[in-house]
Chains A and B, each alone.
Chain A
Amino acid sequence: MPGKTIGLHQAAALVPDGATLSIGGFTTQRHPMAFVYELIRLRRRNLYLFGHSPGGDWDVLIGAGCVKRVELAYEADEAFNTVGPRWRRAVEQGKIEWEDYSNFSMVARFTAGAMGIPFMPVRSLLGSDVLRKETLTTDERSADPRTAAKKAHVMTSPFNPADRVVLVPAIHTEFAVLHVQKATAAGTVRIEGQSYADIQQALCADTVIVTAEDIVEEDELRRTPELNPIPFFVVKHVCHVPFGAHPYAVYNYYDYDPLQLKEYHESARDDAAYRAYLDKYVYGIRDHQAYLEAVGGPERLAGLKSSPEFGYSPDLKRRL
């Protein structure tokens, strides 16, 4: 296996306090949760997160006090809880710095970074308070090179004076961490189902860390190279982490875990209950294997397995 493969703890330890980071996946799908829990156990602080629609991956990092500033479009587990409870609390208590964008404009920002250009024009945002209002001040921005000097800029097309676009600044992060279905020890990656913005997030980061359900042979993925969206040499480290996105879904592998999400969202309503949740599933847990035991082990996880026909679990009870 070796090549680029390293242990999960070793990989998470590469991310220092104050790092800029983007995390793959979308709301309740394909987040590298085992990696996120490692960051919390390492008690990382002052992280700068960039995302479009994160869910509990950000919520738990924010709740554990790991995050200083975020730039985002959305933070929730969608129908499991229409706003991330610790995100909401952090904002309302003034414990986090943030800037609001939309999903399209955040993805355009990642794309600009991935393309090596300074900004991207979009036709969105015009007329909205997402464009008009800012939460970070000019001073806060200019004092910190990890944040763009300006939120956005409206520009008239040099080719047609009647045409206006919004320029949004490129994102460049020190780290991107993705959780995917399959990867090789050399760093070739296979994403099944929706790719979200994982590809752009990887391509605008200095260090790409991939956690994967399966580590497979290079030849296997090279049989269909058109399905491998990220050049292998862009990926620096690969970790083998089965059920690495639990309690979130991985298409063709397992579904989201309604029981775990219920426990998370119920405990997140109350500071003491939330602390107990973190003790039970993060701080008091040695590693990912112990986490999987703590959430119910093979029996519980078997109930989440995707059906080969659907790629998810059609009989999963989702409202408990």
Chain B
Amino acid sequence: MAATKYSLMELMTVISAREVADGEVVFAGTGLPMLGVMLAQKTHAPGCIIIFEAGTVASRLAHLPMSVGDPRAMRGAATAAGLNEVFTFVLQAGRVDVGFLSGAQVDRFGNINSTSIGADPRHPVVRFSGSGGACDIACLAKRTIIIAKHEKRRFPEKVDYVTSPGWLEGGRSRQAAGLVRGGPDVIVTTMGVIRFRVDTKSPYLASFHPGLTPRGVAEETEFALDIGEAVETAPPSAEELRILRDIVDPERVFLK
């Protein structure tokens, strides 16, 4: 049964969590991905293996981390080491099924910018934190889930700076750049779910969230979005919302 009331951030989190399958190895970045992956672990994917780049493998989270190096990531972990161990022997070696990332800007081919706004990164209009492990996760996970708040300026034709490579220029450009695997599978936003065509890698709207229209989503997106096949997103269940609110983020660390 669908719950009646939820915020757009709750909706986006629930939809992103559904993209994680039980048993998958998930390398989650900082911010909303921590919320999404913890919700997945507490709902349909109890066997998903959560890896955080600061060195923990297979946390059984009891409290939502605020950092990928948070002491909370130690809870129930099978292994704890450092960045080198998880980046080298887990991520680079090809043992990660899903990279889970957020970003300030995402373009039509799922390239993410978390470095800076402006044409010249040496003289940026706005500076962000920088890549952290996001570039590495986008390069080396078998597929990537991207979660991002939907605002027109956040979805440009081309990002100002490719921090985390998606499908680059589309088609086979990602392989041509020398990347051995991976690429964005889905962008889950506060308005809908965007996926990519198999050959061209051009984006299409797979679903739009309840209460919105495909055209409305396209109008809030700077890059051209094919909306022909979009269906309405299945709303969060009462159970998903209960677990998200009461178990995953009762302190409202990320939820608003």
Contact digits for B49-73, partner A, Cβ 8 Å, 1 yes 0 no: 0000111100000110011111111
Task: Provide the residues of chain B in CB contact with A122, threshold 8 Å.
Answer: 92
Which stretch, B4-12, B124-132, B146-154, B201-209, touches the partner chain A?
Answer: B124-132
Asked if B163 contacts A194 (CB within 8 A), the reply is no
Residues of A in contact with B, size category: 35 or more
Cα-based distance from A111 to B81 in the complex (angstroms): 14
Asked if B55 contacts A195 (CB within 8 A), the reply is yes
Which residue of A78, A199, A252 contacts B30 across the interface (Cβ within 8 Å)?
Answer: A78
Cα-based distance from A132 to B165 in the complex (angstroms): 12
Instruction: Let me know if B188 is at the binding interface, CB within 8 A.
Output: no
Instruction: Let me know if A299 is at the binding interface, CB within 8 A.
Output: no
Which residue of B72, B83, B180 contacts A103 across the interface (Cβ within 8 Å)?
Answer: B83
Task: Provide the residues of chain A in CB contact with B138, threshold 8 Å.
Answer: 128
Q: Known contacts being A78-B68, A84-B129, A311-B71, is A125 close to B123, with CB within 8 Å? A: no
Chain A's interface: helix, strand, loop or mixed, by majority? loop
- B70 → A minimal CB distance (Å): 7
Cα-based distance from A47 to B251 in the complex (angstroms): 39
Residues of B in contact with A, size category: 35 or more
Task: Provide the residues of chain A in CB contact with B251, threshold 8 Å.
Answer: 317-319
Q: Known contacts being A129-B163, A319-B253, is A104 close to B87, with CB within 8 Å? A: yes
Which residue of A27, A123, A129, A197 contacts B121 across the interface (Cβ within 8 Å)?
Answer: A129
Cα-based distance from A130 to B137 in the complex (angstroms): 13
Task: Provide the residues of chain A in CB contact with B223, threshold 8 Å.
Answer: none
7 cross-chain CB contacts under 8 A: A83-B129, A103-B53, A103-B131, A125-B135, A127-B173, A130-B131, A311-B71
Chain A residues at the B interface, C-beta cutoff of 8 Å? 25-29, 52-53, 72-80, 82-84, 87-88, 91-92, 94, 100-105, 107-108, 111, 122-130, 132-133, 135, 154, 164, 193-200, 249, 251-252, 255-256, 306, 310-312, 314, 317-319
